[in-house]
Structure 1
Amino acid sequence: MSAHGALVGPTASGKSAIAHAIARDDPTWELVTVDSMQVYRGMDIGTAKPTRAEQAEVPHHLLDLADPWDDHDLATFQAAARDALADIEARGKRALLVGGTALYLRAIVDDLTLPGQFPDVRAGLEAEADDAGVEALHARLTDLDPDAAARMEPSNRRRVVRALEVTLGSGRPFSSFGPGLDAHPPTRFTIVGLRWDRAELDERIAVRYRAQLDAGFLDEVRRLGNGPRPVSRSAAQALGYKELAAHLAGECSLEDAIDLAVRRTRRFARRQDRWFRRDPRIRWIDVTGDPLDAVDDVRRLLDAPASLVGNEPDVVDP
């Protein structure tokens, strides 16, 4: 039996369907969802969360960890992941990580040492971002930690605030924690990636979004808006949700909301693809048509000898 595995790729690439088929046919696998938005209860349709029937058929871990009006961060997720892996291993099973949230995946695969939390510092930075704008904070980060600043977009408020929070709160540069995300050390996980033609993936994203709307996505967003408290800052970043929320608030038409959500999701998929392609440990499979046609190839690579882990990636064309 091989080590634990991971199946990665951009959104709408068919990861969940393939992983479910593998775990259904081989009960030594249990699925560990690596998705920063599927951790929220009630955010089901828009995050493409496995259905209740799918969860009943195959063991899933790390779903529904928090309410959407509560913040849920990487450190909390990593702690839950460690507990899940320990539980899976204690029962003699294998974990198959499935997801597209790259930083969350690295936190598990490489057991990253994460900086601490400094809530008071973060609150002050959030207020400063409201007043002066996130670009001003990025300029400040550039002075204090140019390496960290160079690795993020100046407009990415969440990442800029977090880097400054750690730099100011800990007294050491954010970039000094761990070997850095450019390092890809040996790992006990066999990582397989799904790669699509860009035009075909773009079409899959549009088709999936329309299917989610048909399944009640707009009503799901409406229910979240009527919750006991406003949706948290972290949950509010979920693609597709904020566009529909803007429509419900009368800020745009439904068609405009759909168009914007699809365009943003396609851009996000490109960023995911670029991130994963930097990791030389990923063994790639080119997928086209029905993702389930690639199940056998994914299974073969997941069961490959551990000596393959860390080699230069190859490509399998099913």
Structure 2
Amino acid sequence: MSRPAPIAVIGPTGTGKSALALDLAERLGGEIVNCDAMQQYRGMDIGTAKLPPADRRGIPHHRLDVLDVTETASVADFRDEAEREIAGIRDRGNVPILCGGSMMYVQALVDGWSIPDTDPEVRARYERRLHEIGVRALHAELAAVDPEAARSILPTDPRRTVRALEVVGITGRPFSASRPTIGEPRWGTRMLGLRCALPELDARLAARTAAMFADGLVDEVRALVGVGLLDGVTARRAIGYAQVLDEMDDSQDIDAEGLARAEERTVIGTRRYVRRQRSWFGRDHRIGWIDTDTHGRADDAPTPLETALRLLGEDTR
């Protein structure tokens, strides 16, 4: 018996990936593999829009809540563990539904991207350099040794700037040289991308961020500080968490003005991230795109599930 091919549900933040992944898993007999780097962290729930267990419809989810906030998320570790999860799902005769918008995580799986694992000494060297000169100056140093990587990384993104320089330091080659050629997806993975016009998506992101703050993001950050968030390298830089931490005083208090600034900066950071996602995924000719706009949508327009099933060649009845 042939083993089921995975389906990847990818695209920018806020386009409805989780809902479509659940619908497909229900319809086709699937299990969901998380491809969102920050949803791997235990306790980072509100700020990552992680689906609560009660909303998962009884469908198995993998690669959620597998890291403490003190641990560093690694694409190489994720790829190795997710490959094992995918093999197990296929062995059970179920369809792996890869769901998420972390760009390198997705490509590490579908293209077997072999990225060097982290080297604590090399990383620490660039972390110190970041602290000494700031992210923009460090980004300029990256541009000097790897212009292509620098063009794909915002000059305000410390985590990816440090990581690119770390890879250069480990391998002696540009970080961009490790990027795989887009070819036939591994395991015959069928790739679906969700997209939404920017004006509507920006409004969704603003509403989503407001809901996160209203639902207790600041209290979540305080709780995570108590279990070591400030000692972590990756988790503390997640969008939303970093902005709240920047506005907190030494006793983890935040005033009304600081709260408003944190929310505004979270919206801005999310919008910037979405534009990188759109650019990254937009280059991949293998993706079948599904529009999730609601403004101006005809009443008889197909649902995202119906469009997905059609793209997959499945019965839409």
Q: TM-score range by the shorter chain?
A: 0.7 to 0.9
The CA deviation string for residues 52-74 of structure 1, in whole angstroms up to 9 with x for no partner, is: 11346111111011011221211
Structure 2 residue runs of 5 or longer lacking an equivalent are none
Alpha-carbon distance in structure 1 between the residues aligned to 2:98 and 2:280: 17
Structure 1 pair 138/266, CA: closer, same or farther in 2 (3 Å)?
A: closer
The answer as to 2:23 corresponding to 1:25 is no
For 2:309, the equivalent position in structure 1 comes to: 299
Alpha-carbon distance in structure 2 between the residues aligned to 1:34 and 1:202: 22
For 1:314, the equivalent position in structure 2 comes to: none
The answer as to 2:169 corresponding to 1:168 is yes
Q: Report if aligned partners of 1:68, 1:232 keep a CA contact under 8 Å in 2.
A: yes
Equivalent positions of 1:1-318 (< 5 A) are 3-27=5-29, 29-55=30-56, 57-177=58-178, 180-181=179-180, 183-187=181-185, 188-228=188-228, 230-249=230-249, 250=254, 252-289=257-294, 293-303=303-313
Alpha-carbon distance in structure 1 between the residues aligned to 2:136 and 2:214: 38
The CA deviation string for residues 80-133 of structure 1, in whole angstroms up to 9 with x for no partner, is: 111111111111111111111111100011111112432212212221222233
The CA deviation string for residues 117-153 of structure 1, in whole angstroms up to 9 with x for no partner, is: 3221221222122223344444444444444444433
Answer with 91-100 or 202-211: which moved more. 202-211
Q: Report if aligned partners of 1:2, 1:303 keep a CA contact under 8 Å in 2.
A: no
Alpha-carbon distance in structure 2 between the residues aligned to 1:215 and 1:119: 36
Q: TM-score, normalised by structure 1?
A: 0.85
SS at match of 2:5: coil
Give the superposed CA RMSD.
2.5
SS at match of 1:38: helix
**Post-superposition offset of 1:274:** 1.4
Q: TM-score, normalised by structure 2?
A: 0.86
Q: Report if aligned partners of 1:222, 1:248 keep a CA contact under 8 Å in 2.
A: no
For 1:307, the equivalent position in structure 2 comes to: none
Structure 1 pair 117/233, CA: closer, same or farther in 2 (3 Å)?
A: closer
Structure 1 pair 260/157, CA: closer, same or farther in 2 (3 Å)?
A: closer
Which AA in structure 2 matches 1:160? Answer: T
Q: Report if aligned partners of 2:36, 2:102 keep a CA contact under 8 Å in 1.
A: yes
SS at match of 2:112: coil
Aligned residues: 301
Q: Report if aligned partners of 2:16, 2:292 keep a CA contact under 8 Å in 1.
A: no
SS at match of 1:57: coil
SS at match of 1:37: helix
Structure 1 pair 302/74, CA: closer, same or farther in 2 (3 Å)?
A: same
Alpha-carbon distance in structure 2 between the residues aligned to 1:168 and 1:228: 28
Answer with 227-236 or 11-20: which moved more. 227-236
The CA deviation string for residues 138-176 of structure 1, in whole angstroms up to 9 with x for no partner, is: 444444444444443344332332222222233334333
Alpha-carbon distance in structure 1 between the residues aligned to 2:139 and 2:263: 31
**Post-superposition offset of 1:228:** 4.3
Q: Report if aligned partners of 2:4, 2:93 keep a CA contact under 8 Å in 1.
A: no
Which AA in structure 1 matches 2:170? Answer: G
Q: Report if aligned partners of 1:32, 1:96 keep a CA contact under 8 Å in 2.
A: yes
Alpha-carbon distance in structure 1 between the residues aligned to 2:62 and 2:102: 15
Alpha-carbon distance in structure 2 between the residues aligned to 1:288 and 1:142: 37
Q: Report if aligned partners of 2:31, 2:60 keep a CA contact under 8 Å in 1.
A: yes
Alpha-carbon distance in structure 1 between the residues aligned to 2:209 and 2:151: 33
SS at match of 1:126: helix
Q: Report if aligned partners of 2:76, 2:114 keep a CA contact under 8 Å in 1.
A: no
SS at match of 2:294: coil
Alpha-carbon distance in structure 2 between the residues aligned to 1:266 and 1:205: 7
SS at match of 2:163: helix
